[in-house]
Amino acid sequence: DAGVIQSPRHEVTEMGQEVTLRCKPISGHDYLFWYRQTMMRGLELLIYFNNNVPIDDSGMPEDRFSAKMPNASFSTLKIQPSEPRDSAVYFCASSLRTGGWSTEAFFGQGTRLTVV
């Protein structure tokens, strides 16, 4: 397996524009996590899914952020409209829970977002 795949690796956009980040989890994994990493706040959990269903979105900063998982192999994180304070590295991770045992989370390479 190629691991968790995120695209794009880097994104530069202007304030007010819509940004869509993409993630392909490891095949067979049933949990998917979206994190935001900044120097000030560290790694913040934004939202996570189980079997494509959002379980906890309490970390989503505001209504400008939305996430979807239309199927087991794809998820998106959208920011509309984007603001300079959204500049960060966004990580996607996936894991598998089976029979009460959980694997560790495997992370993608992250998307570095810069909003100017």
Partner 1 sequence: AQTVTQSQPEMSVQEAETVTLSCTYDTSESDYYLFWYKQPPSRQMILVIRQEAYKQQNATENRFSVNFQKAAKSFSLKISDSQLGDAAMYFCAFQGGSEKLVFGKGTKLTVNP
* Site residues, partner 1 (CB under 8 A): 31, 33, 35, 41-43, 45, 48, 50, 55-56, 89, 91, 93, 95, 97, 102, 104-105, 107, 109-110
Identity of the residue, 82 or 95, whose beta carbon is nearer to partner 1 in the bound complex: 95
For every residue of 57-113, DSSP letters joined together read -TT--STTEEEEEEETTEEEEEESS--GGG-EEEEEEEE-EETTEEPPPEE---EEE
Question: In this structure, what token pair is assigned to residue 23?
Answer: 């993630």
Distance of alpha carbon 37 from its chain centroid, rounded?
11
| Shortest separation between residue 55's beta carbon and partner 1, angstroms | 7
| Shortest separation between residue 98's beta carbon and partner 1, angstroms | 12
Identity of the residue, 79 or 105, whose beta carbon is nearer to partner 1 in the bound complex: 105
Identity of the residue, 17 or 72, whose beta carbon is nearer to partner 1 in the bound complex: 72
